[in-house]
Amino acid sequence: MPTADAMRWINRKPSRVLAWVLATLPFIIVFAAYAIGSEIRLSVNPADKLLPAPSQIWETALRLLTEGDRRSGRILFWHDTAASLRRLGLGVGIAATMGLVFGMAIGLLPYMRATFATFISVLSMVPPLAILPILFIVFGLGELSKVALIVIGIGPFLIRDLWMRVTEIPTELVVKAQTLGASSWIIAMRVAGPQIMPRLLQSVRLSLGPAWLFLIASEAIAAEGGLGYRIFLVRRYLAMDVILTYVIWITLLAFLLDLLLKVLTRALFPWFGEKRA
C-alpha cells in the first residue's frame, strides 16, 4: 500500500479542524496585512486618514451603531440599513415574481415563447446603469426609481434563467402529467411550479450580487438615506473608518442573505438536491 505521502493531491483531504483553520486563514492574512499597512502609515503621519487603525474603526463602528444623530436623534446606521434593505427586498421580490411568472409562461407555452423570447433576450442586453438617468427623470428621485433599477437590472436575467430551468424539466414528467389528466394550468401549478421554486431561490442567490450593485449605485447618485448614500456622503470627508464599517456591514448582510436563502431552499424543498427520481 502506498504511504500517505505518495497519494495524489486531488485525493488528500484536510481534517475537520485543519479545514476550519484553512478557512479562517485568508481572513487573518487580509486583516494582518491591513493592520501592518495601517501601522506603517500612521507611524509616519499620525493624522493619516487613508488606513485608519483597526481599533479606530472599532470605536467608530460602536459609535455608529449606538449613538443617535445630533440633529434628528435617529441612529443613522440602522436607519440606513432599513432603507436599503427595504429597497433591496422590494426590488428583488418584484424581479423574482416577474421571473417566476414570465419564466414559467415562456418556458411552458409555445405562444408566449414565440412572442417574448427574443424580446426578453434583447431587453436583458440593455445596460441597466445606462438607463438610470431615464429612471430618475421618469420616476423622480424617490424610492420608485431605485427599486425600478434593481428590477430592471436583475429581472431579465431571472426571467431567462427561470425559463431555461422550466425547459430543463424532463419532458417525461410533463407527458406523464397529461396522461393523468392535468390541464395546462394544473401542470404549471403542480408540476412545473413546484419543481422550479428551489431553482428560483438559487437564481435569486446568484442575482443578489448585482442587486446590491444597482442599489448602491442608485443610492450613491440620489437618495436621502441608505447604506450606499452614506458611503458616498462621507467620502467627501475621507472618513475611511465610516466607509469601512459600512462596507463590512454590507458584506455581512449579503453573506447572511445568501446563507438564509440556502437554508430556506434546503428546509422548504427537501426533495431538491438529492438525486433526481
Residues of the shown chain interacting with other proteins in the complex, contacts defined by CB under 8 A: 170, 172-173, 175-183, 185-186, 189-191, 194-195, 269-272, 274-277
Q: Please give the C-alpha separations between residue 243 and each of 13, 26, 216, in angstroms, as whole numbers.
A: 39, 22, 13
Total count of residues recorded for the chain: 277
Q: Which of 208, 105, 214 is nearest to 162 (CA)?
A: 105
Which is closer to other proteins, CB of 148 or CB of 187? Answer: 187
Inter-residue contact 174 to 128 (CB < 8 Å) = no
**Please, what is the minimum distance in Å from the beta carbon of residue 265 to other proteins?**
13
Which is closer to other proteins, CB of 71 or CB of 276? Answer: 276
Which is closer to other proteins, CB of 13 or CB of 275? Answer: 275
CA distance linking residue 68 with residue 55, whole number of Å: 21
**Please, what is the minimum distance in Å from the beta carbon of residue 270 to other proteins?**
7
* Residue tagged 463590512 (cell numbers): 248
**Please, what is the minimum distance in Å from the beta carbon of residue 196 to other proteins?**
10
**Please, what is the minimum distance in Å from the beta carbon of residue 187 to other proteins?**
8
**Please, what is the minimum distance in Å from the beta carbon of residue 188 to other proteins?**
10
Which is closer to other proteins, CB of 2 or CB of 181? Answer: 181
CA distance linking residue 108 with residue 42, whole number of Å: 62
Handedness of CA 94, 95, 99, 105 (dihedral sign): positive
Which is closer to other proteins, CB of 189 or CB of 248? Answer: 189
